[in-house]
Amino acid sequence: MATVTPGKSTGGVGDFIYRMLRSIPTGVLWMLVLIWSIPTLGLAVNSFRSRDNQRARGWWTIFGDDQAPNLDNYEQVLTASSTNSIADSLANSFAIAIPATIIPIAIAAFAAYAFAWIEFPGRKWLFIGIVSLLAVPIQVALVPLLQLWGGGAHSTLPLLDKTVTLFPDFDFAGTSAAVWLTHTGFGLPFAIFLLHNYISSLPKDVFESARIDGADHFATFWRIVLPLSMPVIAAFGIFQFLWTWNDFLVANTMVGANRDALPTTVALANLAGDYGRNEHVLAAGAFVQAFFPLVVFFSLQRYFVRGLLAGSVKG
């Protein structure tokens, strides 16, 4: 059976970007990294400073502070009452981010393979319709989706004087399920588009060899396409996890009234308290909230650029 090496570039946009980056001196790149990291460094320093020191002088004067750096801000964040703490909201963030990452990948991988290598009527127009959903702003759908999760969808037939239930009421409003279902719906078009670009670029000889060996579509997808698509799957997984973990608007809209289901982003916004009296703990809360996305990114970073460029080059 024919084999192919994933992510191997032979020309096009990928090689152009690679050559352009190689032409930049390493010192310049490190200087850009340093400049880009200054705000994060300042946030990290302030997370160990007291409120009085943060208000009195800049973070770069930490060595002249009246009080030595300490972990009081982190202790306050992790042990505060349930109204302001983000410790109890970490589980809610996982309950949102994990399903909202895995489900779109599972569905989009099958759909991308079907659009790329299975002939069926209307395939082209259906794919165009799915990709066009990328232009729909998520803000315009939040209120209709909230009504859908909270009361279902019903339509009245005037001629029959009868109400038909289009979508049953699952009573998802105010739960984590409403958030990850919303993220799943809005993440699927981009996932299908990204995976389709990669899967359709795989050599046709691989699929012909699989058919000659007697493999059906499912066997071809599971044993050939899926292993070769891991770079692009990992790239989308990073995007989707970071987006859902760091989301505030969707979570606040869907579960804002249920304090037991708030994710870390909403809990972090509540840390400052009334009139911003506890704004000094926001830096520590931001690093607690950002810890798990950093772990995910650095664990999968070797797939990141290769997966993003996968659909723009020939394999």
- The domain segmentation of the chain, as residue ranges, is 79-312
Q: How confident is the model at residue 6 (pLDDT cuts 50, 70, 90)?
A: very low
Q: State how far the Cα of 6 lies from the Cα of 38, in Å rounded to an integer.
A: 36
Q: Which residue has the tokens 């970007």?
A: 17
- Fold category of 79-312 in CATH: MetI-like fold (1.10.3720)
- Which pLDDT value is given to residue 307? 58
Q: Which of 246, 141, 247, 254 is nearest to 189 (CA)?
A: 141
pTM: 0.79
What are the DSSP calls for 139-192, one per residue? Answer: GGGHHHHHHHHHH-EEEEETTTTEEEEEE-----TTSHHHHHHHHHHHHHHHHH
For 131-186, the pLDDT digits (tens) are 999 988 888 888 888 888 888 887 777 766 778 888 888 888 888 999 999 999 99
For 247-295, the pLDDT digits (tens) are 999 999 998 778 888 898 888 877 776 556 778 888 888 888 888 888 8
Give the bridge partners for 156, in sequence order.
163
- Which pLDDT value is given to residue 2? 43
Q: What is the mean pLDDT of the chain?
A: 82
Give the bridge partners for 163, in sequence order.
156
Q: State how far the Cα of 102 lies from the Cα of 240, in Å rounded to an integer.
A: 9
Q: Which residue has the tokens 């969808």?
A: 153
- Which pLDDT value is given to residue 192? 94
Give the bridge partners for 153, in sequence order.
167
Q: State how far the Cα of 8 lies from the Cα of 15, in Å rounded to an integer.
A: 10
